[in-house]
Amino acid sequence: MMWLAHDLLWLDRFLLVAGAEKPDLPDWVTSGNGPVVVRRERVSIAGLVAVGVRGANKNERCAAYAPLSAVQSSLTPYEITRAQAWLDHPDRFKAPVLQALETVAQVLDGHNLEWGITGSLGYELATGDKQIHAKSDLDLVIKAPKPLSKPFARELLKELGELPCRLDIQIETMTGAMALSEWAGKSSTVLIKTEKGPFLVANPWEGGMQL
């Protein structure tokens, strides 16, 4: 199974492996029972996937590695979107991030884009654990194996208009991910995040120069 950045993985946290820079994992990491989030990193050791662990607050974030054999189940951001759990969320009409999602979903679906929910909202919708608050961002990803033009990106941002919370949309290409807002900009190059690190590219669907 090939898991990608932002996918959620459920596993026994006691099997998580720490990185060389931090040989010991905090107790809250191994004692937790929620899913971990796949990180965008190429792992040189066979049988491991890079993951990030969320704690009770924003100060509790930890990078680790999970044995592939330990993964019991998984969920992608796109599967979270398709489940539409936000339609039954008790704060659907009160939380700014959910109010924004109502608008954004209509626009993205109107363009027949495949998009997923990530970040704190994605985690909450997937697990039922309270994560969002009044100042939460709306973090989304658009799957774009084929090029999206700059004019289309600008028009998309224009259609989204003013929202009640900060919006961060990443465009996921076959080579990595970039911010929709950057791709819609006037610069001749854009920063794309890959498993090998960040690159500056003119065409995010091709190669580029590593930073």
Which residue has 């704190």 as its token pair?
Answer: 120
pLDDT tens by residue, 31-75: 888 999 999 999 988 999 999 999 877 788 999 999 999 999 999
What contacts 23, CB < 8 A, 6 or more positions away? none
**Residue-wise pLDDT tens digits, 146-171:** 999 999 999 999 999 999 999 999 99
pLDDT band at 208 (very low <50, low <70, confident <90, very high): very low
21 vs 17, 60, 64, 186, 194, CA distance in Å?
12, 17, 11, 39, 21
| pLDDT tens figures, 78-88 | 999 999 999 99
**Residues contacting residue 15 through CB under 8 Å, at least 6 positions apart:** 66, 67, 70
Where in the sequence numbering do the catalytic residues fall? 137, 139
Neighbours of 178 (CB within 10 A): 23
User: 167, 137 in Cβ contact below 8 A?
Assistant: yes
Contact call for residues 40 and 194 (beta carbons, < 8 A): yes
DSSP state of 164: S
State pTM to two decimals. 0.94
The pLDDT of residue 21 is: 67
